[in-house]
Chains A and B, each alone.
Chain A
Amino acid sequence: MSAPLLYALVGAGLVSLGAWGLVVRTHPVRKTVAANLMGSGAFLILVSAARATPAERPDPVPHALVLTGIVVTMATTAVALALAKRRAAASEGHSGEGASDG
């Protein structure tokens, strides 16, 4: 089994695991971890595309994509964690809040 194929298969596996976690888990932090897992799987698939052709130099494009993707995933994780923290604070602080539904 060649390296690119291995990477791709592992990537697919991680995507499935991550998707499962994202769907099934209810706690926001667990969901965030699962999303990151899914992202990592996608990046592995992209990385495997860099060596897909048996050429001398690896293809730089997937590397660029993965780098961009990592940055985006980091930003998403930050937003998710901040929201989760805010939500936890809201349910501890004001138990009767939530009346403004307009």
Chain B
Amino acid sequence: MAEPGAFAPQLLGLAIVVPLAAGAVSFALGRARAMAAALLGAAAAVALAAAVAWSVATGGAVALDIGSWVPPLGIRLAADGLSALFLVLAAIVGAAVSVDAALASRPGADVADRWLFWPLWLFLWSAVNGLFLTADVFNAYVCLELIGFSAVALVASKGSKAALDAALSYLFASVLGAMTYLVGVGLVYLASGTLALDALDSAVHGSASARIGLGLMLAGLVLKTALFPAHFWLPTAHSSAPPQVSAALSGVVVKSSYLLAVRLLVAATGAGSGPGLRLTLAALGAVAIVWGSAMALASQRLKLMIAYSTVAQVGYLFVMLPLLEERAATVGLAIALHALSHGMAKAAMFLAAGDIADAAGTDRFDALAGVGRERPVAALSLGLAGVTMLGLPPSGSFAAKWLVVQSSLASGQWWIAAVVVGGGLLAALYVFRALASLLAKPDRSEARTPKPRTAWAALPLAAVSATLLLAGPAISRLMAATSLAGR
């Protein structure tokens, strides 16, 4: 338990409740005041995430049994270093998304029901925080479903046929994944009588049906995280949504199910058992990198390209998993660095793409010539985010790549290093292509009527992700309070 005040555990509960309450309040206040209430709630959520991170950094892992009810009937929340880092990621991306949405909804914005974005967005944020902090697998199911329908509603908010189609496809994929996960939870409980995340490894040890259940849970999470071949819902969903929503989805939501998957994997396959499982996931990750990059290169639209890039980057997160066994601390740090830098960079890319699409009227590559000059901030943000995508120093993804290559060489699994480095090259292809089309000279100067928007929120986000190496010491300090070593 944390030393600096017995208040620290309460922060965990607040991190979930405060955005939820703010969302409810902003819904109740209606069109006029929704944004103001929501922005206050967002600020509070950011402060809470920082506070949790601080208390984990200074006092070690924190845990809270809600209402002091004992698990498994009661729900337990826990924050170790990795959860705290993801909370911080959600906070940073959330802040940028909120600011960007606020900037985009100046008087003159044309979508009538825009104000409903705010309550939905805060519900999504609260559910994501819940998923990061939960230590109970059924509570995780609830959070997964909550994330699912908030995200689906947000994706559908544009109202166009394409958006509705994408939202429906996303919804059913999400439901399939969540149901699979629930069946898994049922099996695990049936076999072992516990729902606690940290008790899973002993629960799984003796019983085959519990392990089957765990496998189903992992599968459901794999679908929610969009690992190839379960990524089919992601490109249309993320590219048809409003830019702020895409930023949140690609930047944070995709990572939330990933965190849980990693914890489950560690619980299920510590100490040398289950190499087949890790290798399967890693192989799928490698294919994801290649497939996602190829499809990104083939895209004709900027947002679609960015969405496929997410598919590729998710592959990275899975390709490192076989190394967790031997070098848990290093690979854990690599996971944290990669997830953080990619999350921020991807969110920045979507926000910038939104700005660019506003300026050009569409996000098709052949219509973007010259927009780079009109919206230099957006182009610069895309470029900086590209630095992270390519894995150039001093971005966090460079550090993550380096750590992964070291570990893979040291443990003899060469192919992982090759895939990781090759992926950076592939990313270079589509990033350069996007930047080139932005900076091309327009064939004829069309009179564009730019809507009032700027990419000021995207720029700091991209800049932070591109220089995340500077925060390296702080991140490793937090990671010291995490154990991914399994039994």
Contact = CB atoms under 8 A, between A and B. Distances in A.
Interface in B62-79: 72-73
Given A76-B149, A83-B168, A101-B362, A42 B186 contact: yes
Contact of B176 (A22, A52, A102): A22
A6 interface: no
A87 B172 contact: no
Nearest to B353: A102
A71 to B, nearest CB: 9
B95 interface: no
A53 B138 CA distance: 20
Interface residues on B, range: 35 or more
A39 B73 contact: no
B469 to A, nearest CB: 34
Contacts of B185: 46, 65
A93 B304 CA distance: 27
B240 to A, nearest CB: 7
B233 interface: no
B303 interface: yes
Contacts of B180: 19
Contact of A68 (B142, B148, B190, B193): B142
A74 B158 CA distance: 24
B183 A15 contact: yes
Interface string A33-63: 0010011011101101100110000011110
Nearest to A45: B186
Contacts of B161: 87, 90-91, 94, 97-98
Interface in B169-190: 171-172, 175-176, 179-180, 182-183, 185-187, 189-190
Interface in B118-142: 138, 141-142
B96 interface: no
B161 to A, nearest CB: 4
A90 B164 contact: yes
Contacts of A86: 156, 159, 164
A91 B159 CA distance: 11
Nearest to A4: B190
A49 B149 CA distance: 28
A44 to B, nearest CB: 9
B149 A39 contact: no
B145 A98 contact: no
Given A42-B186, A98-B162, A101-B362, A18 B179 contact: yes
Contact of A49 (B164, B190, B357): B190
Interface string A61-102: 110110011001001100110011011001100100111111
A8 to B, nearest CB: 7
Nearest to B356: A102
Contacts of B183: 15, 38, 41-42, 45
A43 B183 CA distance: 8
Interface in B52-66: none
Contacts of A68: 138, 142
Contact of B357 (A15, A46, A102): A102
A89 to B, nearest CB: 9
Contacts of B149: 75-76, 79
A63 B303 CA distance: 44
Contacts of A83: 152, 156, 164, 167-168, 171
B73 A35 contact: no
A23 interface: yes
Given A84-B168, A98-B162, A101-B362, A42 B240 contact: no
B301 interface: yes
Contact of A61 (B73, B182, B357): B73
Contact of A102 (B73, B156, B172, B303): B303
B153 interface: yes
B179 A42 contact: yes
Given A79-B152, A87-B168, A102-B361, A72 B176 contact: no
A102 B153 contact: no
Interface string B342-360: 0000000000000001000
Contacts of A91: 161
A61 B156 contact: no
Contact of B148 (A41, A65, A76): A76
A28 B168 contact: yes
Nearest to B213: A45
Contacts of A31: 172
A61 to B, nearest CB: 5
B284 to A, nearest CB: 19
Given A45-B186, A49-B193, A83-B164, 6 more contacts: A42-B182, A52-B190, A61-B73, A61-B189, A68-B138, A86-B159
3 residue pairs, one from A and one from B, having the closest CB atoms? A45-B186, A98-B161, A102-B357
Interface of B: 72-73, 138, 141-142, 145-146, 148-149, 152-153, 156, 158-162, 164-165, 167-168, 171-172, 175-176, 179-180, 182-183, 185-187, 189-190, 193, 195, 240, 301, 303, 357, 361-363
